[in-house]
Amino acid sequence: MPRHIKVAAAQMGPNNEGTPREEIVERMLVLLESAARDGVELIVYPEMALTTYFPKKIRRDFDQFFETEVPPKALEPLLRRAAEARIAVHVGFCEKADGTYFNSALLTGRDGRLLGTFRKIHLPGTKAADGFAQVYEPYYFAHGDTGYRVWDCAGARVGIAICQDRRYPESYRALALQGAEIILIGYNTPISALALDLNDLCMRAGAYANACFVVGVAKAGVEDGVELIGGSSVINPLGQIVARASTSGDELIAARIDLDQMTPVRKRWNFLGRRQPQHYGTLLQPVTEKEPNR
């Protein structure tokens, strides 16, 4: 029996500082209603969907950007409407748990039930200016402690990575080895000369090397003076982009994906089954390179 799922990347334009969460959620609801009309079964919102991308500078008044409830109270209208429309939801947000700060994402099922959360593992930038970093996530966040997780969602095995995680091949492989068929990746990435090309490169490579689908969804546009790259996309198991955002604002892109498309790709290449992990021991050696200014 064919296994088709309609997925959507809900790209968001800028969330400028001072914008109330209620106003941001109203925009998210507009995208959700469009998804409902289009028969979408899984909608994916970006990293830090409820706030501005504040780690672009170092500041002390950051507690205001974090949620202490999971799901965040501000998302209640969105998640309630999604459950009514039978749409599973991924949303990135900033989480404060027992005094520790995380860059997190949640996943709900089509019935509205919280399936779980993932906390970002790889943090870009440094704790202090070093002349190279564009962002300062280690100043704000702890490295995620959830590990890579996969859930049954909307008829598929779904895994999550966040932003910088997408640049590490280990992220895709760890999820694929747990049976992930679709990997959801939210991001907020400042523009630079090659930023969009590198974004495409790592997500397409992750999809191809693990014969799975990837849904990458961005915050876009000029947010508090910093331009974000956008470029939300849906990528198939051959690393091909099958849907892409064309604007720098709020935009829904949807694709009906055939999960059975993975079968011939995996049978032909069998990247997971032909691994030789007895030769990969160096991958588990402790990290010796220290971060600057620490």
Active-site residues, by number, are 47, 120, 163
Beta bridge partners of residue 272, listed in sequence order: none
Lookup: tokens for 270: 């069998």
Alpha carbon distance 65, 50 (integer Å)? 8
Torsion of the alpha carbons at 172, 213, 93 and 178, rounded to the nearest 10: -50
Lookup: tokens for 199: 């974004």
DSSP secondary structure letters along 94-111: EEEETTEEEEEEEEE-TT
- Alpha helices (H) along 141-238: 169-176, 195-210
> Contact at 8 Å (CB) between 261 and 229?
no
Alpha carbon distance 124, 137 (integer Å)? 6
- Report phi then psi at 184, rounded to 5: -100, 130
Lookup: tokens for 212: 């799975």
Estimate to the nearest angstrom the gap between the alpha carbon of 196 and the chain centroid: 16
> Contact at 8 Å (CB) between 90 and 105?
yes
